[in-house]
Amino acid sequence: MGLIKVFFWGMMVSFLGSLPLGTLNVAAMQISVQESIMNAMLFSLGSLLTEMIYVRISLVGINWIRKQKKLFRWMEWITLAIVVALAAGSFIAAMQPHQAKNVMLNNHVNRFVLGLGLSAISPMQIPFWFGWSTVLFTKKILIPKNSYYNLYIIGIGIGTLMGNCVFIFGGKYLVQNLNTNQGLLNWIIGGIFALTALILLIKILLNKDAAKKLETIK
């Protein structure tokens, strides 16, 4: 019963955590619209694999992670640069009707590898999952055993995939069934990326980024 409970907690938290607009789920939606659902699913699988690895590391190596402040700072700035580039790419595509595809995604990088890489440089998920894991440890839902860790992480992976599917299939539905103009969608997606970049910049400048959040988690 305990194993089933930790599995569903991991899946539920991951699913709900994947629903707010963010870099990865919006990128997955854009790939589904501009390329194919298969490529978007590959992108999502790559991103959730990185997330699962990060969670596993956070469960056993949080003391080491806490000391990597300089690494987190660099990762934050790199993430910001990529989000700004994605926003610019979406705006460029919106302004050029013949170029419907985000130029930042117009490459031959395997979508699984792309998802893996973009997720790897997004450090905010580490304090998010360490915080939730701490809560579950406190409530005796998550127990320091490999069997619990494994099912918890599998639940997280499934939850993230379910959350991304909302964006992947939702974006496809908007374009195909509601006749949403793809140029308009590019403007909206560009705006989301731009807002995300602004929020991330403010967090970095106010020292409320991932490295700082790890310090506040006990």
Domain boundaries, the chain: 2-216
Residue 170: name the closest of 32, 11, 17 by CA. 32
CA distance linking residue 126 with residue 134, whole number of Å: 12
Exposure class string for 54-64: b at 16+ Cβ within 10 A, else e: bbbebbeebee
* pLDDT score, position 178: 60
Degrees to nearest 5, angle at CA 69 with 10 and 126 = 10
* pLDDT score, position 213: 53
CA distance linking residue 182 with residue 195, whole number of Å: 20
CA distance linking residue 90 with residue 100, whole number of Å: 9
CA distance linking residue 131 with residue 125, whole number of Å: 10
Q: How many CA atoms does the CB half-sphere of 77 hold within 13 Å?
A: 7
Q: How far is CA 159 from CA 8, 44, 88, 115, 122, in A?
A: 9, 11, 30, 16, 18
* pLDDT score, position 71: 67
Q: Which amino acid is at 202?
A: I
Using 70 as the pLDDT threshold, list the residues of the chain that sit under it: 61-69, 71-72, 97-106, 123, 178-181, 208-218
CA distance linking residue 75 with residue 124, whole number of Å: 10
* pLDDT score, position 18: 86
Q: Which amino acid is at 57?
A: I
* pLDDT score, position 62: 59
